Chain A
């Protein structure tokens, strides 16, 4: 334990419960930790682990029925758990600031940025209005908002998500707080913007000596910024330590599982299956007796029936595990050293051929006589998908990857170009012409909560397609097929009678997969199928998709924004930017030898859950934000952010060059270094 005068925050046995009519939900149940002056502490855990409630408890931003029912939060000599509301208001914003996950809703849409920043400063009586306005501009400039004098008079809707998060940070730092709590501040942002914000957070921590609590589900993000990590599970801290040690030598099986469940950007995958832990987190209404992780723990022993305490093991490290406290080790999981997946020996005719595909959406006119505006969502994409392969499509939000998926499955009609599916041109096929092909081409969606009709039972969801396409001869055959499908995706037979809301996110995604498979497709287009799920559930779904591909010979078009996931599951990868293909290559080649500057910076921006790598990595920081697909730049669309752009890039659209070994790149200066 550090010297008391070095401590800024000391949380002891904090218990925050939701006192619902049906009994207490023990979201935070006995959390203790401390924070030194100017320290960066990361709190990591999956959804429902209590990390956000913990942060809100410190700020006392709890809504009914949540209440702090026990413990203390000593911040600079005062116990925030029992401070009265008036005194608490002085602490909030002035001494402790908070930045939230969703930058789209955390600013007030009807007030100018200036007004919101100035109010944040004058509210505590530290600044006069004029001084506050000048300071607001200085702060915005410090946060990297371009044209701060002009930007300060803007409205929130004129800013992108990344810019709003900078404004939130400016607001957070405006009163020079001693502590900043950032709750998933980059989760809603693209990877290149995330990297900018994380860099900014590190710099601010160094410049202002403000202590930071960073909450995230992403070990890579935490490793990037923090000097100490708390791992939370089931309402309590299960492990604590510096990232260098905790991430390379985890001493709690849950941390171990988190680390191994996430695909690594910096490691070659020998097997596409990931290490997962069974089951779901326990119910916060009734935590299990003994160790709360016991039911899912591959290392559990008899003594785990007793609840372990968080005990120190070595300097600065602590764990809540009987096995490692007794000196036991957590072995590295055995991976089946499978031979590299045999690529479907370059089948003569590819399953899907897309040529010059464009989708331009007409937007509403500004006025009656204005020229119609066009959003170029997909602007000339060529690709081929071979039978049995997994083609990954990666890019930031707005790059057109979801539109591409909906064009290929013909939910949208292309503006121009052609889509040929197994020899049939479906570019402008009518719904009646396309219906028989729908059996062979299915889609898996991103949001497991929106993609299943809440009023239909799982059985109805799965029999609908069977009846429509006349696959099952009668009711009995349909029922048999539903049971087959459920067991195929690892759900119990009784799931057929249940409704979607009775399932967790991961289970719903399994239902969604079963629905896609019900008609026996050849091609499955998966649009961000795992991005809404927790790490361990992501791993389970990836494993399922890999299994199904092997058993049923499926071809996948896998769309994602997460490079590590894409690298892990795909044979070949297409990198999209503003509706165009920037680079296309076999997965291993793309990561070993990225030729396009955009690919290079994407790879550099993705955080890796290894503090040593994070500290030493060379970063190609991308400037600014993506251009608008309504007014794309002339020439190369990437040139406005490109570190190696030349005048030629503005004049000529770079053609797609064959770089050999299946690698294609659309750049005038492929492979050049910034």
Chain B
């Protein structure tokens, strides 16, 4: 072939690794955290709340792998128990907020008219404020506590799903298969739930996944500011807050920080992988 070398064709395994390698790594990280969270009482070496003033602020050692904090509690234990509440809040906020927002947005996009207009202005209202500030204000008004913080986060969380769902429904609505279903005689409920929404879930699932990391980060932020959990519950954001003055005892703040980082990155990698997998254009390449 006229001396022009063709590049070698990558083996299917290498192609898969190139496209989904990071996603697989992210999934592994998240799976690890899930296992740690579910089996925390059996895995963690100590009790998360037992105070041992004699052993306070000890550096990482064989008996305390990640050291101890200002009250002598084992950092490794508290990081493992912290995964429970972080993941729980993350999933709760994203799933409830996502479902609520999607449903409202889908209805708005399908019904149109004044209902759509009202809903979209409501989302505008929420978008006017920086999400973490708004959540702080609501959480502060409701009082400190995990449930109240979740409620505050839900209030700022649903609008972006409503927005995305509405735009996805609008795109799908204009396609001829919707008219075909109408001309066959299907009713609006069937068309929306059985025909349109299944075609719109792909991007929603991607946003959901990417958002899990985001929700965990915001919750940690609120806890860091003292709005999330009630002490002495082990929570990553609160742990970082406890360690922020302790410059010499770096391990107190560093390890919960690494935990937050790994979970957020894990969800981002999985979300990116899902996006590639769901995108037919990227797939054919």
Q: Residues of A at under 8 Å CB distance from B?
A: 13, 15, 17, 19-24, 65, 69-71, 406, 409, 411, 431, 434-435, 438-439, 441-443, 445-447, 450-456, 464-465, 468-469, 501, 512, 515, 519
Contact = CB atoms under 8 A, between A and B. Distances in A.
B50 interface: no
B9 interface: yes
Given A69-B2, A434-B185, A468-B184, 12 more contacts: A69-B4, A71-B2, A411-B182, A443-B179, A443-B183, A450-B177, A451-B175, A451-B176, A451-B177, A452-B177, A453-B195, A512-B180
22 contacts: A20-B285, A21-B9, A23-B9, A65-B285, A69-B4, A406-B179, A409-B183, A411-B183, A434-B185, A435-B185, A438-B183, A438-B184, A441-B183, A442-B183, A442-B184, A445-B180, A446-B176, A450-B175, A450-B176, A451-B176, A453-B177, A454-B199
B125 interface: no
Contacts of B232: none
Contact of B15 (A21, A411, A452, A468): A21
| Complex A-B, nearest 5 residue pairs according to Cβ-Cβ distance, in ascending order | A438-B185, A451-B176, A445-B176, A70-B2, A450-B175
Interface of B: 1-2, 4, 6-7, 9-10, 15, 175-177, 179-187, 195, 198-199, 280, 284-285
A450 B183 CA distance: 15
B44 to A, nearest CB: 44
Contacts of B184: 438, 442, 464-465, 468, 515, 519
A446 B177 CA distance: 11
B180 A447 contact: no
A445 B187 CA distance: 19
Nearest to B178: A453
Nearest to A436: B185
Contacts of A441: 183
Contacts, number: 79
A19 B176 contact: no
A633 to B, nearest CB: 30
A139 B4 CA distance: 43
A19 B8 CA distance: 10
A36 to B, nearest CB: 26
A80 B6 CA distance: 19
A411 B195 contact: no
A452 B280 CA distance: 16
Contacts of B175: 450-451
A445 B184 CA distance: 13
A496 to B, nearest CB: 18
A21 B285 contact: yes
Contacts of B280: 501
Nearest to A456: B195
Nearest to A72: B2
B107 to A, nearest CB: 18
A19 B285 contact: no
B179 A411 contact: yes
A455 B196 CA distance: 9
A515 B184 CA distance: 9
A205 B17 CA distance: 53
A21 B13 CA distance: 11
B174 to A, nearest CB: 9
Contacts of B15: 21
A70 B185 contact: no
B206 to A, nearest CB: 16
A469 B177 contact: no
Given A411-B182, A446-B176, A19 B6 contact: yes
Contacts of A452: 177, 180
Contacts of B1: 15, 69-70
Contact of B186 (A70, A409, A411, A464): A464
A451 B6 contact: no
A453 B172 CA distance: 10
Given A21-B15, A65-B285, A453-B199, A468 B179 contact: no
A24 B6 contact: yes
Given A411-B183, A468-B185, A21 B6 contact: no
A8 B1 CA distance: 26
A375 B188 CA distance: 26
B281 to A, nearest CB: 13
A468 B186 contact: yes
Nearest to B199: A455
Nearest to B1: A70
B215 to A, nearest CB: 28
A70 B4 contact: yes
* Best-surrounded residue of B6, B7, B183 (most CB of chain A within 10 A): B183
Contacts of A20: 284-285
Nearest to A409: B183
Contacts of A519: 184
Nearest to A71: B2
Contact of B187 (A431, A469, A515): A431
A447 B176 contact: yes
Contacts of B284: 20
B68 to A, nearest CB: 52
A15 B1 CA distance: 9
Nearest to A460: B194
B186 A455 contact: no
A21 B14 CA distance: 10
